[in-house]
Amino acid sequence: MVNDSGQLYTMEGVAAGLVMIITAYFVLNTTSIYTPGDTHITDMQLEQLASDALAMMDTPEAEGAESPLHSFVRLNDGAGFRTMFLDCCKLRAGGIDDNLHMNATIFYCDRSHDEIKSYSFGLSDVATGRESAVRVSRWVQLNTRPSGAPGTVSNQYPVLLVEVLVWRG
Amino acid sequence: MAGLNEEGQWIVLMGLLVAIGMFFLALIINQSALVGQTTAESVLEFPKSDIRDLRSEMDDLVGVLRPLSSGTQSTVLNVVRDDISALSLARKNAVVDFSLTGPEDVAGVLYYRTEFHYNNGVTAYDETAYF
């Protein structure tokens, strides 16, 4: 004969079992707790933003024309590059401008010594080294050495890699 | 339960069900941060823009080479390829190589056949394109 007088005890047993399983689950997971602020989501968004800004600057305004990025590198106009890059990145619709900082460096291959060298491209913001910065880069091919560039940059079709470090300050 | 009133059992049962439901919702919220983390890491790790930039440089290079004589073309191609390979290795930890052949007449337009190879140890990419 079925007797239902033990129902509440059964439920209590089930509840206690669940509590034990949940406790074990949390204990085993304590090594991998992520908080939203700890994730790389903001880094990913910043990298995409900076990468898009560089791609936009590397696009000529008319068919066959020179792109702004190409022109800035050719004339070694780091200040102009910086202004345009930050303008492209900082603009927000309906809010105050984003607080972005950047630091641009141009890398090139010293063909006579077979070495990779670099020179600073324009004014750079001072980084403390603790910022969560992302790096984006873009190739620039020139026909001759840029006017203010170091003499070790080849004068015959040099390839330059523009690297920009971007961080929120 | 002898001697006890059992009228409240349904209330206790519903309380238990609601508690279990809340636990699973909390679990989903807990996992969402983890999902965002791993997705963002994958996106950051995948060299999408590196490969696209390389492809765009091939296009630019063909534009530079097109008006040159064939002797100058191979000289320029060699120095540019050496530069791009060396810079990719040093700054992007990627092995990059490419070759250009042509021009080939495709439906009346002269195209250069470009084969390029990209490998950063995690992602390998090969493409043949006509520019």
Cross-chain CB nearest to A5 (options B1, B23, B54): B1
> What residues are paired with B40 via a beta bridge?
none
Q: CB-CB: which of A11, A35, A138 is closest to B16?
A: A11
- Confirm whether pTM is higher than 0.95: no
pLDDT band at B23 (very low <50, low <70, confident <90, very high): confident
Q: pLDDT tier at B86 (50, 70, 90 boundaries)?
A: very high
Q: What pLDDT band is residue B38 in, cutting at 50, 70 and 90?
A: confident
| pLDDT value of residue A27 | 80
**Confidence (pLDDT) at A69:** 93
Structure tokens at A20: 């034990």
The pLDDT assigned to B71 comes to 85
Residue B16 to residue A107, Cβ atoms within 8 A: no
Range of lowest pLDDT (A32-36, A84-88, B45-49, B67-71)? A32-36
Going from N- to C-terminal start, the domains of chain A cover 1-30, 35-168
| A157 pLDDT higher than 60 | yes
Interface residue A95 vs chain B (CB under 8 A): no
Q: Of A150, A165, A142, give the one whose Cα is nearest residue A72.
A: A142
Q: Does B59 touch chain A (CB under 8 A)?
A: no
From chain B, the residues in CB contact with A158 under 8 A are 83
The pLDDT-based confidence of B24 (bands split at 50, 70, 90) is confident
% of residues, chain A, pLDDT over 70: 92
pLDDT digits (tens, 9 = 90+) for A105-121: 999 999 888 889 999 88
Complex ipTM value: 0.75
State the average pLDDT over residues A87-93: 81
Burial of residue A2 (CB within 10 Å: 0-12, 13-18, 19+) is exposed
* Phi, psi at B56, each rounded to 5°: -65, -35
* Exposure b/e, A71-102, CB count within 10 A at least 16 = b: bbbbebbbeebbebbbebbeeeeeeeeeebbb
* Long-range interactions of B2-9: CB distance < 8 A, separation 24+: B2/A5, B6/A4, B6/A5, B6/A7, B6/A8, B9/A7, B9/A8, B9/A11
Do the Cβ atoms of A118 and A107 come closer than 8 Å?
Answer: yes
| DSSP β-ladder status, B95-106 and A134-141 | unpaired
pLDDT of residue B84: 93
Q: Is A32 on the interface with B (CB under 8 A)?
A: yes
Q: With 70 as the cut, is the pLDDT of residue A32 above it?
A: no
Locate B27 and state its tokens.
Answer: 């679990």
**Which carries the bigger pLDDT value, residue A56 or residue A6?**
A56
So what's the pLDDT on residue A42?
A: 81
**Is it the case that residue B1 has pLDDT exceeding 60?**
no
Q: Answer whether A157 sits within 8 Å of B80, measured CB to CB.
A: yes
Q: Write a three-state SS string for B63-78.
A: HHHCCCCHHHHHHHHH
Give the integer Cα–Cα distance in Å for B111 and B131: 5
CA angle A63, A65, A67 (to 5 degrees): 110
pLDDT band at A8 (very low <50, low <70, confident <90, very high): confident
Contact status of B36 with chain A (Cβ, < 8 Å)? yes
